[in-house]
Amino acid sequence: MRYAAIVLALYVGATGCAPRVAPLKGAPAPARTLPVIELAPGHRRIVFRWDYEENSLIIRGEGAIRVASPDSARVDLFLNGGVTVGHAILIGDKLIATNQQQVQRVLPPPPMMWAALGRLAIPALPDTVVTSDGETIYADIGKPAAWRVTIRRNRLMQLASLNAGKVVEVLTRDDGGRLLYEVPGRRKLWLGITRDEEVPVFNASIWRP
């Protein structure tokens, strides 16, 4: 287990090629605006399994997220067998992690972390282009587009970070609740939620780094 934790911190230099972003799906919806997508009120505890893949490196484990609306979360990561990797505290747009080389290597940056929890939290940018197809809304945000958002029935299904017309990173939720965070050509993180429950208010000590 100690060896696995050390391997997790290693840097793998292959960069791969970012794919070009496809045209927006659906029909133009110039009068439509994006819904505000926030965390549900209250406190939640989410238990999940995770798989991390980078080239030939594959690591699996378990984890838990304690979420406090509107903008606070704590993530605890463990390797299979219960060995602690570390934890990270996400408040607003700040992510503070113990064992930074290990934890921050696995976890997505704040906007993608919030997308995984169902919250749309990206910088405000002008020139949003919105299209729709039935119950699904698509949007490119920024000029040139810096973000692409997919929303279905007020649920955030995908968030992609774009640069120069290419996909830099993307977080996708499937209909079964499984999540995939990917930096194309470099690494992938799968999250499979096994339990999601409302809980009482958390002790303030959990927000300490």
- Say what the pLDDT of residue 7 is: 33
- Say what the pLDDT of residue 2 is: 34
Question: Which percentage of the chain shows pLDDT scores above 70?
Answer: 91
| Residue 119, Cβ density class (10 Å: 0-12 exposed, 13-18 middle, ≥19 buried) | buried
Question: CB of 118 within 8 A of CB of 156?
Answer: yes
- Say what the pLDDT of residue 105 is: 83
Q: Is 185 left (phi over 0), alpha (psi -120 to 50) or beta?
A: left
- Mean pLDDT, the chain cut into blocks of 10 residues (209 residues total): 34 55 87 86 97 92 97 96 93 90 88 96 89 93 95 95 96 90 95 96 93
Angle at 55 between CA 51 and CA 56, to 5 degrees: 80
Residue 111: which H helix or E strand, with range? helix 110-116
Domains of the chain: 2-9+20-207 (2.50.20)
- Say what the pLDDT of residue 31 is: 65
- Say what the pLDDT of residue 13 is: 33
Q: What is the pLDDT of residues 109-137, one digit of tens each?
A: 999 999 999 999 998 888 899 999 999 99
The pTM for the full model equals: 0.88
- Say what the pLDDT of residue 183 is: 96
Question: CB of 132 within 8 A of CB of 27?
Answer: yes
- Say what the pLDDT of residue 187 is: 94
- From the DSSP assignment, how many helices (H) and strands (E) are in the chain? 3, 13
d(CA 102, CA 178): 23
